[in-house]
Structure 1
């Protein structure tokens, strides 16, 4: 894959419809802003509709606000049932290193928000998607070790950042297994992933630890990129002609900053057995299954 040196988001998208989860701020809002400015019809899928409406008012172009709480499977099902045809789903919403808590469905918050909700959303929407699913991961996935027997942190001492890295590894395993299944069925849909490097957003603001929040916020501001540049990886993954299971990130030092390009991932992130195992556990937990018939393997 060619490096997108000095790539600028000049992306004619007229006639194409995008759903951006977590679109009321940060990378999601910037992604939506560029897409709408280039002619796309953009749906901001947000938990707080009032905040989403205020964000949408700052954008130019065709923008719609719809309620979606990816940490609540009933909300996910309702949204998927009503959304209609979509070209691209960008699974962007996320939380980082939050204190331990359970969602209404009984799942650990980061697992639910960053992985399970988006897993369910993508599978429920898949028959209505015409182009691709984009998962927003993180380079911190390299630090994760996924325990399929304890996804909910019921046996292990909970560590907020470790749970975050695990959820970001889950995003890449989801991307790989979804692409495998799409290819096996002969579908032309693509499953791809991206990460924004070190980008200054408000995602570090809910750790429950003032020092960690301060370090995360200022670290990104000092060593990282603006939201405008950080969103380029997401935009590249969502609009460029790239192969399925691509992983897009910044091309600079340790992928902290730079222009979007294809990047590597950890050994665990390309483990097909781990990807299949996570998929099966995710189906069990959410009650949502891959909606297309999967051809038998030879």
Structure 2
């Protein structure tokens, strides 16, 4: 398919069911639109159903809407139950929705907003839908991270909810690092099943509504540099689409823009931060996430970090 992977590279998706969170605008909209155009039955899983319906009306193909508020575990459970009643299989679960640099806020369950929405909501949704994916050859869980996973980022187990001192940038970095660690640990557990795989992607710097909470000190420089360092949502969605549909993709891989510093360009295989590959932290985060959400993955048994499966299923540091 050459160096420049585009939407024209997406194989036919007819007969496949794709659930895309946060799909009424921005990256999620472009992801869902492209999948629908290639024949997939696409579900826009969104908080605002009216906006979702308007987005669906602008798309071509089989597109429906499902209410989903990732800031509420009750809503996540309700949405999962509704999807289970409508579909007997899911081929693609694309964990795209997210918030960025929000002022200090809590989800309905009391979690820090960015960690609760970006990581815990998607963790719970994946666990509640995974058994519809495991029997489906070629099924994939794609979780959208960010280059922000490298910035002031760590998994702060001593204060996961940022109750002592809040940093909107640090909290965002933690949530995006958690997205990657979840992907890698999920892939480790999926490796013995041989059907579903977990993959991650990031959009680089894309011009979307996600940046509306950028701190004032960063807003002006970003505005000046925008023409040089940002790309359209359609381009920003390409790494996710490649992770979801490219037949050559392997479980545990991470895709992002191919340009300098991964801020823009056509998608390619990239490498995440050294911290993201720390297996003991991945496994601890998994256990904490199960405890906080009340969602377990009974079909998947943890794999020892030293096992051959664990070693082979993880991406190489390129």
* Normalised TM-score (structure 2): 0.88
The answer for the alignment partner of 2:156 in structure 1 is 147
The answer for the alignment partner of 1:191 in structure 2 is 198
Deviations, residues 187-209 of structure 1 (Å, cap 9, x unaligned): 421000000111111101135x5
2:230 is the alignment partner of 1:224: yes
The answer for the alignment partner of 1:5 in structure 2 is 3
The answer for the alignment partner of 2:291 in structure 1 is 284
* Normalised TM-score (structure 1): 0.94
Does the CA contact (< 8 Å) of 1:205 and 1:217 recur in 2? no
Does the CA contact (< 8 Å) of 1:137 and 1:195 recur in 2? yes
| Whole-angstrom distance in 2 between the partners of 1:180 and 1:258 | 29
Does the CA contact (< 8 Å) of 1:192 and 1:237 recur in 2? yes
User: Given the superposition, is the C-alpha separation of residues 228 and 293 from structure 1 closer, same or farther in structure 2, using an over 3 Å criterion?
Assistant: closer
Q: Using the TM superposition, give the Cα deviation of residue 71 of structure 1 relative to its aligned residue in structure 2, in angstroms.
A: 1.2
Aligned length in residues: 293
Alignment gaps of 5+ in structure 1 = none
Deviations, residues 200-252 of structure 1 (Å, cap 9, x unaligned): 11101135x55545555664444111111111101000111211000001111
User: Given the superposition, is the C-alpha separation of residues 95 and 215 from structure 1 closer, same or farther in structure 2, using an over 3 Å criterion?
Assistant: farther
Alignment gaps of 5+ in structure 2 = 308-318
2:122 is the alignment partner of 1:122: no
Q: Secondary structure, in 3 states, of the residue corresponding to 2:273?
A: coil
User: Given the superposition, is the C-alpha separation of residues 198 and 126 from structure 1 closer, same or farther in structure 2, using an over 3 Å criterion?
Assistant: same
The answer for the alignment partner of 1:14 in structure 2 is 14
| Whole-angstrom distance in 2 between the partners of 1:163 and 1:260 | 26
Q: Using the TM superposition, give the Cα deviation of residue 259 of structure 1 relative to its aligned residue in structure 2, in angstroms.
A: 1.1
Does the CA contact (< 8 Å) of 1:202 and 1:217 recur in 2? no
| Whole-angstrom distance in 2 between the partners of 1:267 and 1:148 | 18
| Whole-angstrom distance in 1 between the partners of 2:93 and 2:125 | 9
| Whole-angstrom distance in 2 between the partners of 1:292 and 1:109 | 29
| Whole-angstrom distance in 2 between the partners of 1:26 and 1:197 | 13
Q: Secondary structure, in 3 states, of the residue corresponding to 2:101?
A: coil
| Whole-angstrom distance in 2 between the partners of 1:172 and 1:38 | 27
| Whole-angstrom distance in 1 between the partners of 2:300 and 2:15 | 29
The answer for the alignment partner of 1:136 in structure 2 is 144
Does the CA contact (< 8 Å) of 2:22 and 2:45 recur in 1? yes
Does the CA contact (< 8 Å) of 2:23 and 2:29 recur in 1? yes
| Whole-angstrom distance in 1 between the partners of 2:227 and 2:72 | 32
Deviations, residues 151-191 of structure 1 (Å, cap 9, x unaligned): 10123x111011111100000000000011111x4342100
User: Given the superposition, is the C-alpha separation of residues 293 and 165 from structure 1 closer, same or farther in structure 2, using an over 3 Å criterion?
Assistant: closer
2:169 is the alignment partner of 1:171: no
